[in-house]
Structure 1
């Protein structure tokens, strides 16, 4: 059966909805319009308030019983930025390239999956789409709330494929079988503001913060595992509130991020930083936000389905990787095995974000092969 949905045209329509994170409304209307005729029961809910909301989520389900295959993704996008040669929300196809914000990350993958579903058999098992409007933000009201919705109804997929752009040089060369965890922290050191000519009347917090930075930079976290590289701590900003060159600041702040493997837990890393800070600058404070824990999906049926579909469609043997940033898999792993696979990711978040038209069509065929293998 030929799909009744053109994945490239549907991706173009999704991109034309300016769904900057957190997203709701029009872009979900378009998804519902496509899914209901395909036999899906569509459930939409909006949660939260600014700054992390309001966020819309969608759970669309078709069929009953097992196996239950879930596809997860997000329709929110990062702000477009300056320097585009055309309107980032007025998608352009030129020389076989679809350009627009979300073309790569990840509206084209959602379109590819929906096109695949349009021709998938309906007689066996359950299909679900778990779509959030807040993956690019803090996800406060995003995928974790979808998981709450599923748990409240005792619904649990057997496996989930996330359509994040994971390929590197060619479509199909990389799938992500796990992701590192991520925690952001802000260290605040207090002092006493004063004139640089009278240091005895002030208390400069910068030397204390420098000791903290040195101590944490020298701290060895781990050596990594067979599946993950070593955990890594990076300072990303250091600031003081003063602008004048002759003022000793009254406070100093450092911002850091730790990307960590499955040897670590976010809360343990926060405690480690707190201990170093208290030792080097007693009375200083640490604020932390854990974006997600590291996870690893062990080999199994989900691996086999996706790897064989990629191999049959492209002739490529994909690398199984845990590199790169995080994804909503950090939440969904609490439900079942999770794998990320999608388009080449070179232009994600960039000005001029784009995807090759033929890659979008091939991706849809790969997703279709996965469904055929599972449900036929």
Structure 2
């Protein structure tokens, strides 16, 4: 397929109304655009996943990864969220920052790559903004079965904070959700001695658990904090004490705190009570060594292209980088400024998208 310029390609991708889990034809377009790459479809349930690769030589395997799906546009837009608007250097559309800017940049960089000492690949999914059950992780399973997992990966999520180039992510916190149910004995409020009020029991331990740091963090990670998100009990009447209390909490955990640590922490304060604890981990924390080749190479490329000294961050929520890390791939995230993702009138600048493409060119050239 004939080459577009980077912004033309970006606008083309933004025009697909690819709300999770639909790609609306965007992945087929990318496959056709990179017609000299081998293509593998790894579709699962109603999710489309595309893996493209090209072997230039016998060196390392570098993968660019990202998602083509976007969140629903919602209300408050000043223009059609799927008809990109270009105004004063900005491009407005759903997915402009998260993350069709990154996809456009690395698709174009791979399109332009002529020499590479190894294998270049692209891993694209339409299931990142949803449950992510049938997206990137399914492609990685497929690649592992074929002994074709990447050595290194760049996920082009928006990572910059104030100026383009100022931050990359070399790790992410995990997320653990918990539910504690404290069983008491319902009774009349006038006869508290005949009841067992779970609110009174839990109130005694709240100062020891609410907002408490579970570890000290480190150079890159903030401490893992026990964040209570909901407490409820009773029947919304004033003359009956409740028989049960339910407390919900979340811990955005770093690599120092595990599910087992949280179980021990809760039991320390609830062991003398009749309680149950349910934990679920929606994402595991990961950290790529700052001395890894991929970290050093993208840091150098950012400096060479932008003149900016980038910082290493682990802030924010989760991304598909966690799956790559789980499969033993050294992974970093780098993309445009993140300040309007998921918001009405999401936008980025054409200058950032073009610069991101050039940074990826530099990584490929020097890898």
1:269 equivalent to 2:261? Answer yes
* Residue 11 (structure 2) aligns with: 12
CA contact (8 A) 1:278 1:284 kept: no
Provide the secondary structure at the position in 1 that maps to 2:142.
Answer: helix
Q: Unaligned regions of 5+ residues in structure 2, if any?
A: none
CA drift of 1:253 comes to: 2.8
Question: Could you tell me which of 132, 136, 149 is aligned with 1:143?
Answer: 136
SS in 1 for 2:109: helix
- Matched with 1:51 is none
Superposition map of 1:85-234 within 5 A: 85-122=78-115, 124-191=117-184, 204-211=197-204, 213-217=206-210, 219-234=212-227
Q: 1:373 to 1:20 in 2, by over 3 A?
A: same
Gaps of 5+ in 1: 49-53
TM (norm. structure 2) is 0.88
* 2:289 alignment partner in structure 1: 297
Name 1:362's counterpart in structure 2.
Answer: 355
Shift of 1:105: 0.9
- Greater CA deviation, 310-319 or 290-299? 290-299
The 5 Å alignment of 1:25-64 reads 25-35=24-34, 37=35, 39-48=36-45, 54-63=46-55
Cα distance in structure 1, aligned partners of 2:86 and 2:238 = 52
Structure 1 10/209 Cα, relative in aligned 2: closer, same or farther at 3 Å? farther
Q: 1:278 to 1:316 in 2, by over 3 A?
A: same
Q: CA deviation at 1:204?
A: 4.4
Q: How many residues align?
A: 364
Q: For 2:80 and 2:309, locate their aligned partners in 1 and report how far apart those are by CA, in whole Å.
A: 37
1:71–1:161 Cα contact (<8 Å) kept: yes
Q: Say whether the 8 Å CA contact 2:175–2:283 is kept in structure 1.
A: yes
Q: Secondary structure at the match of 2:138?
A: helix
SS of residue paired to 1:272: helix
Contact preservation (8 Å) 1:274, 1:286: no
Asked if structure 1 preserves the Cα contact closer than 8 Å seen for 2:182 and 2:198, the reply is: yes
Equivalent pair of 1:8/1:108 in contact (CA under 8 Å) = no
Distance 1:242 1:87 in 2: 46
In structure 1, the partner of 2:305 is 313
Q: What's the secondary structure of 1:368's corresponding residue? A: helix
Counterpart contact for 1:313–1:366, Cα < 8 Å? yes
> Which of 58, 65, 89 in structure 2 is aligned with 1:72?
65
Q: Is the 8 A contact 1:55 1:141 kept in 2?
A: yes
Change (3 A) 1:75 1:188: farther
Shift of 1:42: 1.7
TM-score (norm 1): 0.86
Cα distance in 2 for partners of 1:34, 1:242 equals 60
RMSD over aligned Cα, in angstroms? 2.7
Match of 1:260 among 244, 249, 253: 253
Kindly state the Cα deviation for residue 285 of structure 1 after the two structures are TM-superposed. 3.2
Alpha carbons 1:212, 1:281 under 8 Å: kept: no
CA offset at residue 355 of structure 1?
0.5
Q: 214-223 vs 157-166, which deviates more?
A: 214-223
Query: C-alpha displacement at 1:220, in angstroms?
Result: 4.3
> Aligned partners of 1:109 and 1:218: how far apart in 2?
35
CA contact 1:209–1:281 (8 Å) conserved in 2: no
